[in-house]
Amino acid sequence: MRLTVKEITDKKAKGEKIVTLTAYDFSMAGLLDQAGVDILLVGDSLGMVCLGYDSTVPVTMRDMLHHTKAVSRAAKHSLVVADMPFGSFQRSPESAVRNAVRLLKEGGADAVKIEGGSERLGLVNSLRSADISVMGHLGLTPQKATELGGYKLQGKEPEAARRMVEDAKGLEKAGVFALVLECVPADLARRITETIKIPTIGIGAGSHCDGQVLVLYDFLGLQEAIRPRFVRVYAPVGEIIKKAVKNYRKDVQEGKYPSLAESFTLNKKQGVKGEKAKRGK
Q: Which helix (H) or strand (E) holds 139?
A: strand 134-139
Task: Report the Cα–Cα distance between both ends of the chain, in Å, rounded.
Answer: 28
Distance CA 46, CA 32 (A): 16
- Which residue has the CB atom at the shortest distance from ligand KIV? 43
CA angle (134 as vertex; 132, 135 as ends), nearest 5: 160
Q: What is the DSSP string of 40-83?
A: EEE-TTHHHHTS--SSSTT--HHHHHHHHHHHHHH-SSSEEEEE
- Nearer to ligand KIV by C-beta: 33 or 182? 182
How far is the C-alpha of 168 from the C-alpha of 46, rounded, in Å?
26
Alpha-carbon gap, residue 80 to 73, rounded angstroms: 10
Q: Are 189 and 203 in contact (CB under 8 A)?
A: no
User: By C-beta, is 161 or 179 nearer to ligand KIV?
Assistant: 179
Active-site amino acid positions: 182
Contact of 192 with 164, CB cutoff 8 Å: yes
Nearer Cβ to ligand KIV (104/181) = 181
How many residues would you count in the chain? 281
**Contact criterion met (CB below 8 Å) for 239 and 220:** no
If the CB atoms of residues 38 and 44 are measured against ligand KIV, the closer one turns out to be 44
Q: Nearer Cβ to ligand KIV, position 108 or 139?
A: 139
Q: Which residues of this protein are in contact with ligand KIV, per CB under 6 A?
A: 22, 41, 43-45, 83, 137, 180, 182, 203, 213, 215
User: Residue 136: beta bridge partners?
Assistant: 179
